[in-house]
C-alpha cells in the first residue's frame, strides 16, 4: 500500500433521495482527499435518479444503476466489485461521516498491514441526524475469541477493509436480503486481524425504515443472521474443540425460536433455505460435533 492510498466510499442506494445529499455532503468535507465515491442505485423509484445523475460529471464519483431492485446483498457486492480503492468502506445513503473518518481509517490501515477490517464507534442519531448518544456496542475482540461467538455488534459502523484481503474471500453473498454486513464482517475476520478504533466516526440515523435492526424486521433479521453464522461455521470447519463451538447452540436455539414463531414455514425462510441450505449445513455441523 502506498503512502496515499485511494479510499473507496461505497453507497448502495434505494429510495433515499431525501437523505443522500446529506451523506454526500459529509464525504465532501473529509480531511482526507484521495477518495472515490462508488454509488449503485438499486432500482429506486423516488427522486434518487435525478440526484445521482447530477453527480456523473464529477471526476471522483462513479454512479451505476441496477436495472431492477435486487436487494442489499447483490448491490453491496457490486459496489465492492466496482471499487478501485486500496481501502473500502460502506456509507449508508441515510447516514453520514465525521469529517476525519477517512483520515483516521487510512492511518489505521497503514499502521497495521495485518488488519483486514477496522471499525469504530458511531453516533446514534434521530431522523434529523441530531446526535442522541455514542454507541457502546463496538469493542475489541479479545485474543482467543472471534466475532462469531463474541459480543453482538462488536463490529459495526464505521467498518472499513482492505480490498486486497477482501479478494481472498468469497465476497458478500449476493443472495442476502438482510445481514449482508454481518456476512462481510465474518468473512473479513477470516483473512486478517480486526482493529477497533475507540472513537465515533459515523453518524447512524435511527428509525428511518432502512435500519433493519432498529425497525420492524427483527424476525427476518434473525433468520438471515442464522444463515450468515451457519455459513461461517461451515467455512471454519467448526468442531467440538474449536472456539466457534458456542455458536452452534445459539444457532440451534434460534432455529427453535423461529420455529415457534412459524418462521420456518414462511416465504422468507424458504427463500433462504433454497438459496443457501442453512438447515442442511447446521445439521452437518451438529452431526460432526456430537
Number of residues that make up the chain = 290
The grid cell for 178 is: 438482510
Residue 46 dihedral angles phi and psi, to the nearest 5°: -100, -150
286 sits in the region (left: phi over 0; alpha: psi -120 to 50; else beta) called alpha
Beta bridge partners of 200: 121
Strands, E, within 81-236: which ranges?
Answer: 87-90, 96-97, 115-125, 131-134, 160-162, 193-205
User: Which is higher by pLDDT, 268 or 30?
Assistant: 30
- Interval 101-143: pLDDT, tens: 999 999 999 999 999 999 999 999 999 999 999 998 899 999 8
Class of domain 7-212: alpha beta
**Residue 34 CA from chain centroid, whole number:** 23
In the chain, domain spans: 7-212, 218-289
More confidently predicted of 235 and 265 = 235
More reliable by pLDDT, 25 or 238: 25
Separation of alpha carbons 226 and 24, rounded Å = 33
**How is 29-48 classified by DSSP, letter by letter?**
T-S---EEEEEEE-S--SSH
**What is the rounded distance in angstroms from the CA atom of residue 180 to the CA atom of residue 278?**
15
Is pLDDT at 274 greater than 80 in this prediction? no
Considering the entire predicted model, what is its pTM? Answer: 0.83
Closest CA to 188 of 283, 240, 123, 114: 114
Contacts of 133 (CB under 8 A, 6+ apart): 123, 124
What are the tens digits of pLDDT across the range 140-167? 999 888 888 887 789 999 999 999 999 9
Amino acid at each position: 500500500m502506498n503512502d496515499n492510498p485511494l479510499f473507496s466510499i461505497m453507497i448502495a442506494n434505494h429510495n433515499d433521495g431525501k437523505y443522500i445529499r446529506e451523506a454526500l455532503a459529509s464525504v465532501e468535507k473529509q480531511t482526507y482527499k484521495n477518495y472515490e465515491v462508488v454509488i449503485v442505485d438499486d432500482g429506486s423509484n423516488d427522486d434518487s435518479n435525478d440526484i445521482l445523475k447530477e453527480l456523473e460529471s464529477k471526476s471522483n464519483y462513479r454512479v451505476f444503476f441496477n436495472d431492477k431492485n435486487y436487494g442489499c446483498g447483490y448491490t453491496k457486492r457490486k459496489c465492492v466489485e466496482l471499487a478501485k480503492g486500496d481501502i473500502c468502506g460502506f456509507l449508508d445513503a441515510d447516514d453520514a461521516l465525521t469529517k476525519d473518518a477517512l483520515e483516521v481509517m487510512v492511518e489505521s490501515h497503514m499502521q497495521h498491514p495485518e488488519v483486514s477490517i477496522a471499525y469504530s464507534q458511531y453516533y446514534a442519531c434521530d431522523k434529523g441526524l441530531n446526535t442522541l448518544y455514542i454507541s457502546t456496542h463496538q469493542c475489541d475482540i479479545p485474543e482467543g475469541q472471534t466475532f462469531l461467538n463474541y459480543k453482538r455488534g462488536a463490529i459495526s459502523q464505521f467498518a472499513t477493509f482492505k480490498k486486497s484481503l477482501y479478494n481472498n474471500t468469497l465476497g458478500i453473498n449476493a443472495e442476502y436480503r438482510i445481514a449482508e454486513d454481518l456476512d462481510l464482517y465474518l468473512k473479513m475476520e477470516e483473512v486478517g486481524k480486526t482493529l477497533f478504533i475507540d472513537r465515533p466516526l459515523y453518524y447512524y440515523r435511527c428509525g428511518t425504515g432502512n435500519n433493519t435492526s432498529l425497525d420492524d424486521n427483527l424476525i427476518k433479521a434473525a433468520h438471515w443472521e442464522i444463515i450468515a453464522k451457519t455459513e461461517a461455521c461451515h467455512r471454519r470447519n467448526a468442531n467440538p474443540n474449536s472456539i466457534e463451538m458456542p455458536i452452534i447452540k445459539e444457532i440451534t436455539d434460534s432455529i427453535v425460536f423461529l420455529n415457534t414463531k412459524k418462521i420456518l414455514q414462511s416465504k422468507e425462510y424458504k427463500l433462504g433455505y433454497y438459496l443457501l441450505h442453512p438447515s442442511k449445513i447446521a445439521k452437518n455441523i451438529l452431526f460432526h460435533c456430537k
